[in-house]
């Protein structure tokens, strides 16, 4: 028997031809998505609606199981898909108790565990054969032989429309990125990072006001026609309905803490008047 490792070598034109013969619906949707794509700095953003029409099928099933042009070559090598947390435990460098530790982790009497902290302190007491992973938006605790079931959990989150299934805590934009910190009813706190020489769009919100506090760098704040230059520990208030823009005129990254308040805090509450990156919405 030969095991399909998922490593394929082909000319692009040959694969396009086989897609047209074996999976024409997939090829048509992919082409439409590419033809309607837009550039965003060094990113190519595929047109999402056309891309969603691509059938959900692996290249193995769509082409490789049907093609008459393929052949199988043996390869003598170790192999692991590293497809789940348990695989990371098997492949990593284990300590004397067969644990793998990452980040701020303390344990007593833990064995055969994968323990990972990306932010907060994780303490493990008397654990065996478990995976514990702490990230900024979720904590996973699972038996090592059940980590594949995370797929079902993701499907449940998607069906429920949960925020965790839609985006990470850190959201990237052409001008930099922002992280959502804490949130409550009618308020939330974000940390905004603006690259030197970059600017957000000139915009306004119908449902929220914002407070900006500079913690690093220099901020240029445009607010209903007025311009403010703020340095560290200075702040600005952006009332509801105000046309405003944040930019970084300096040579080092700008970081601000943004406190939002209002009845609706969704990212789709943005009316853009001008944008350096050609966006109409985020």
Per-residue pLDDT reduced to its tens digit, 139-184:
999 999 999 999 999 999 999 988 888 878 888 898 999 998 888 9
Which domains, and CATH codes, for the chain? 12-64 (no CATH), 85-150 (no CATH), 170-274 (2.60.120.10)
At 281, the pLDDT band (50, 70, 90 cuts) reads: low
Q: Are 105 and 113 in contact (CB under 8 A)?
A: no
Running DSSP on this structure, what letter comes out for residue 111?
A: B
What is the rounded distance in angstroms from the CA atom of residue 120 to the CA atom of residue 133?
A: 11
Partners of residue 203 on adjacent β-strands: 244, 272
At 267, the pLDDT band (50, 70, 90 cuts) reads: confident
Q: Which tokens is 240 given?
A: 């509801």
What is the rounded distance in angstroms from the CA atom of residue 99 to the CA atom of residue 107?
A: 10
At 115, the pLDDT band (50, 70, 90 cuts) reads: very high
Cα distances (angstroms) measured from residue 257 to each of 78, 167, 213: 48, 20, 5
Q: How far is CA 23 from the centre of its chain?
A: 29
What is the rounded distance in angstroms from the CA atom of residue 154 to the CA atom of residue 150?
A: 6
Q: Which tokens is 110 given?
A: 């833990």
Q: Which tokens is 20 given?
A: 């047209």
What is the rounded distance in angstroms from the CA atom of residue 246 to the CA atom of residue 29?
A: 38
């Amino acid at each position: 028997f030969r095991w399909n490792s998922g490593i394929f070598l082909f000319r692009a034109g040959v694969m396009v031809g086989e897609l047209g013969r074996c999976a024409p619906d997939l090829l048509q949707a992919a082409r439409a998505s590419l033809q309607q794509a837009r550039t965003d700095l060094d990113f190519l953003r595929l047109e999402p609606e056309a891309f969603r029409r691509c059938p959900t099928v692996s290249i193995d099933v769509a082409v490789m199981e049907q093609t008459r042009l393929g052949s199988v070559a043996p390869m003598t090598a170790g192999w692991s898909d590293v497809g789940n947390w348990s695989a990371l435990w098997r492949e990593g460098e284990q300590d004397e108790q067969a644990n793998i530790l990452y980040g701020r982790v303390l344990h007593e009497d833990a064995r055969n565990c994968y323990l990972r902290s990306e932010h907060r302190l994780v303490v493990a007491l008397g654990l065996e054969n478990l995976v514990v992973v702490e990230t900024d938006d979720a904590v996973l605790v699972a038996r090592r032989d059940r980590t594949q079931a995370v797929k079902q959990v993701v499907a449940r989150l998607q069906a429920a429309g949960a925020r965790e299934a839609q985006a990470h805590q850190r959201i990237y934009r052409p001008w930099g990125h922002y992280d959502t910190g804490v949130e409550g009813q009618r308020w939330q706190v974000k940390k905004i990072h603006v690259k030197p020489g970059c600017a957000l769009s000139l915009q306004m919100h119908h449902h929220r006001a914002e407070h900006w506090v500079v913690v690093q760098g220099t901020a240029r704040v445009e607010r209903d026609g007025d311009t403010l230059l703020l340095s560290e520990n200075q702040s600005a208030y952006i009332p509801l309905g105000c046309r405003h823009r944040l930019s970084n005129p300096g040579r080092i990254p700008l970081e601000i803490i943004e406190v939002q308040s209002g009845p609706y805090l969704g990212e789709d509450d943005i009316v853009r008047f001008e944008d350096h990156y050609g966006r109409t919405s985020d």
